[in-house]
Amino acid sequence: MRKLVYAFMANLLLPNLLIAQNTKGPESTKAKTMTSAALVGHSIKIVLKPYQNTKIYIGTNYGKSRVLADSALLNAKSEGVFESKTKLTPGIYFLVSPKYSILFDFLVDESQHFKIIADTAAINTFQIIGSTENDIFKAYSKSINELGMQLSSIENKYKTATNAKDSASFKELYLTKDKEVKAARANVIKTNPGTMTSFFLNVMQRPEAPAVPSINGKQDSLYPYYYVKNHFWDNVVFNDNRLLRTPFFEEKLDEYFKNYVSREPDSIIEELQYILTVAKTGKEIYPFLLFKFTNKYIAPEFMGQEKVFLHLFQNFFAKGDTVLLNEASKKSITERAYSMMANQLGLAAPGLIINSPENKKVSLYDQKATYTLLAFWDPTCSHCKIEIPRLDSFYKASWKDLNVKIFSVNINFKELVAWKNFIKENHLENWTHAYQTEEDLNKEIKAGLPTTIRQQYDVFKTPTFYLLDSNKKIIAKNLSLEQFNDFLVNTNKKK
């Protein structure tokens, strides 16, 4: 039996949407028995031996997470009922034991009045009465499980083969059996059009890459890639809430963005815009997708992809979708967006006219250099105490010869003594050091200026680094020092 894993999305940007179907949560739901009256919503009767006088559950998926959807109290005869005036979102569900082990899967369609009879002593022989969708699903599951076991057996033999002849033989057998599995799935889709089983099999499918074609004697090596990309979502519409109630939709979505979408922000934006526009009418799937993409690109894996988050903010949240957020999340996402707007790749760096250690005004734009490395740090930050001397090592080893200048900004005006001591002790000569005084900061705040230095440069962690070109345009950000070094070396080679 599979163990139920709780994996609720806890990101700050997740809206106040309850993941469990029942708004009170399964544990706090009033226990239900077979004596309950018939309901308009869902009513799933259950007999689960040998459990008696105990609570059991049904669960489902919310993307990759598994969540509980309802609970029922079994009586002395092992009988109970899952019921509510509210319908469950159709999809793949599973029965959960009192100890939170998953017993088996079943389908919930629009008609949510049926009966389950099962015994844990012979769990594979469970029955579902009154649901044609589950008859189809169970028949498919039985046949595909048998084929899957055969496929797995052949695969194990292939792995343990001791000679090339056996390996080739088992490989051929595997490919033949794999074709049989795919044919079985295709047959279920063909013979059961419009059913949930057919729908889910279509979601699971990946198109097979065709052979490389030859046009006028020249091979088109990119054709298979684009064929798979263009057919990846055949028969899938993104506003269907049932997609959430599967264990494979989000995994397929991640696979698509990893393998078939360029890392360039504009390519990602094009894909997201289409998906979210189509999903807009899906009551559950739309907020799920919007927050999934927001969480992914608010702190992206690759430089420059913050542009994707800003697109989401400007085209969805700023146009009314903040109603999906609680007040704390609304404030957080809005502030984060405004902190990113002025420091995107290709933009001119916001001007800085601040104080030197001797309290003389210094300007970022007065620094004449092929490149300027802008460093925001705090002398009390333990990570800064490691990274800032490392930055100096790169500077002295090679960056100085590339005409790089360091413009170093202390963002903690309360620690001026520690800052000056750190500069002296670590011999950070030939840098421009500066800080903003408390008085100047208060003047900005009092004048109602929209952004402070921290906001202009999105300094929510220290150290934060930017690389500027000779015109002070931002050409790199949010990289490790090693990555900045590679970037500088490669850019200089190109020049």
Q: What pLDDT is recorded for position 263?
A: 94
Q: Cis check for the bond before 50: say yes or no (omega within 30 of 0).
A: yes
Which helix (H) or strand (E) element contains residue 368?
none
Dihedral sign for Cα atoms in the order 74, 63, 289, 309:
positive
Residue 293 in tokens: 């993409």
Q: What pLDDT is recorded for position 451?
A: 63
Q: Is 106 exposed, middle or buried (0-12, 13-18, 19+ CB in 10 A)?
A: buried
Q: Is 378 exposed, middle or buried (0-12, 13-18, 19+ CB in 10 A)?
A: buried
Q: What pLDDT is recorded for position 23?
A: 34
Asked if residue 433 lies in contact with residue 408, where contact means CB atoms within 8 angstroms, the answer is yes
Q: Cis check for the bond before 463: say yes or no (omega within 30 of 0).
A: yes
In 3D space, the residue among 36, 200, 28, 189 whose CA is nearest the CA of residue 106 turns out to be 200
> β-strands 214-215, 218-219: how paired?
antiparallel
Output Rg (C-alpha) for the chain, integer angstroms.
30
Q: What pLDDT is recorded for position 7?
A: 31
From its phi and psi, is residue 460 left (phi > 0), alpha (psi between -120 and 50) or beta?
alpha
Q: How far apart are CA 147 and CA 153, in angstroms?
A: 10
Q: What pLDDT is recorded for position 38?
A: 46
Q: How far apart are CA 115 and CA 117, in angstroms?
A: 7
The neighbouring-strand residues paired with 115 are 45, 129
Measured distance between the N- and C-terminal CA atoms of the chain, rounded to whole angstroms: 61
Q: What pLDDT is recorded for position 11?
A: 34
Which helix (H) or strand (E) element contains residue 313?
helix 306-315
pTM of the model: 0.81
Q: How far apart are CA 393 and CA 350, in angstroms?
A: 27
Q: What pLDDT is recorded for position 319?
A: 84
Q: What pLDDT is recorded for position 166?
A: 82
Q: What pLDDT is recorded for position 449?
A: 63
Q: What pLDDT is recorded for position 4?
A: 39
In sequence order, which residues have a C-beta less than 8 Å from that of residue 437 and are 6 or more positions away? 354, 355, 359, 413
Q: How far apart are CA 26 and CA 217, in angstroms?
A: 64
Q: Is 6 exposed, middle or buried (0-12, 13-18, 19+ CB in 10 A)?
A: exposed
In 3D space, the residue among 110, 132, 136, 106 whose CA is nearest the CA of residue 118 turns out to be 106
Residue 338 φ/ψ, nearest 5 degrees:
-65, -25
Q: What are 262-271's contacts with CB under 8 Å, separation 24+?
A: 263/302, 263/305, 265/304, 265/305, 265/307, 265/308, 265/311, 266/307, 268/297, 268/305, 268/308, 269/307, 269/308, 269/311
Q: What pLDDT is recorded for position 37?
A: 39
Q: How far apart are CA 283 and CA 291, in angstroms?
A: 13
Residue 352 in tokens: 């800085």
Q: What pLDDT is recorded for position 321?
A: 76
The neighbouring-strand residues paired with 61 are 66
Q: What pLDDT is recorded for position 9?
A: 29
Mean pLDDT, the chain cut into blocks of 10 residues (495 residues total): 34 33 40 46 96 97 95 97 95 96 95 96 94 94 86 86 85 87 90 94 92 86 94 94 96 96 96 96 94 93 93 90 79 88 92 93 94 96 96 95 95 93 93 92 74 85 95 94 94 79
Question: Helix 481-494 to helix 382-394 angle, to the nearest 10 degrees?
Answer: 30
